[in-house]
Structure 1
Amino acid sequence: MVANWSVAYTISSPECRAIPELAYQAELPAALDDLAALGYDGVEIQVRDADAAASAGLVEQVRARGLGIAALATGPVATDDGLTFTSTDPQVRAEALRRLSGIIDLAVQHGVPVTLGRAKGELDAGSEELQRIWAREAIAELAERAAAGGQAILVEPQSGSFLSTVGATVDFLGVASAPMPGAGLVFDLWHAAKEEDDVVVAATDAGALLNHVQLADSDRGPLGEGTFDIAGFLALLERLDYKGWLTLEHSQRGDSRAAAETSLTTLRTLRGAS
């Protein structure tokens, strides 16, 4: 652990068509062995299909190394297969919902949350309002499914045309008017630095929805190789009494083990390890 936080690294489930560029570039057993040896507390797993992941013994392989699971991420549902909640094709939307429902069920089974980024989709000119309705209905259904199992779906503000800021995401989740039980928010430092007027204000405004944090430096590389004030951001998380996971989600610089070691060393140097 680093200070009060468990630290995870992004990896890929075996059924993904390709290992995402921001994930550890190795087959699952090798990635898990390396991260356990480096001293990581756990992993955040990019999942494309829950049934295939379960058949491959994904969670069992993680647990066998003594690693925890920060979250199951759903990016490959969109990046591998083009499935999103804002697609104008109802069959695509239905399959996106089916895939995410399966990942929610797998997450509930193992007591971990699910993160939602690219699969929420983007908005098309002239169709924005309808697409927002489709997305909110899907996310509300998934949030209810997660909450019934004691977990949550965590929506990540990302650069793009839909839910790119904390404020937009908080409004979308209906915190002020009709709260969506079982939903929360991922705060990705790299996206926030691009999209927010003030990272400190944005993180503070997330309030009780701030359930998960992802880290990269200013060049979206390992911590300590860019210009972000990582120490200041960690101090902010302490002031906000954040107690969740810190997931490293950044480019690998051609050497995942070195990238993972660099980021973990930076965190330990800045805040100390326990």
Structure 2
Amino acid sequence: MRMLEGRGAVVTGAAQGIGWEIARVLGDAGASVLVGDINGDAAKDAAARLREHGVAADALRCDVTDPGDVEALIAHGTEVFGPLDVMVNNAGITRDATMRKMPIEDFRTVLDVHLTGAWNGTRYAAEAMRAHGRGSIVNISSISGKVGNFGQTNYSAAKAGMVGLTKASAKELAKAGIRVNAVQPGLIRTAMTEAMPAHAWEAKMAEIPMGRAGEPVEVANVVLFLASDLAGYLTGAVLEVTGGRYM
């Protein structure tokens, strides 16, 4: 289904993992996709792979904690592909440690990338979207923002903050025709999660009623729904993609 035919999308942190899959699914649905990533070479490679899939794609290095970089990313997308219709704030990092051992720099850095990065993306995307009176912004939070993870006070706080950001900005932007929603993935099968010790993987699997990990495409499909007109009356919502974990 070409639900995003003729629309422009920007996805941050899209050089790999879930971000790449989101970019691919949006592109397959007809969107032109700008890949933003702090690794400029990886972003270019991702855009090239999208073009091999028949997607109109471009790339730009972007540090989401830098307002100037984010503003330039949005401007570039508008220049290359026309009006911005979809913004996905996906960029993120981890710096895991117990609170007792975590350096304050690691706490601040994780909050800055996830939360300030999403705020920058929302702010500049909204300004671009106001010009044509519509748009969908999707923030990639995490189930960790709902329940908290041991050794991730920084990550869990940042992902919870993204929920508050989503709801507050949804209220501010609704009259401008701009919708803002969030997705909270649970255990998703990626290179990072598959590298965890077997006992940790099995413990997480035991918490999932559906009895399996999710696939990146299952997160991307929910983002596609939120980006499309099928979700035209949905804003300020947080959709859990967890297989029923932590219901």
TM superposition score category, shorter chain reference: 0.3 to 0.5
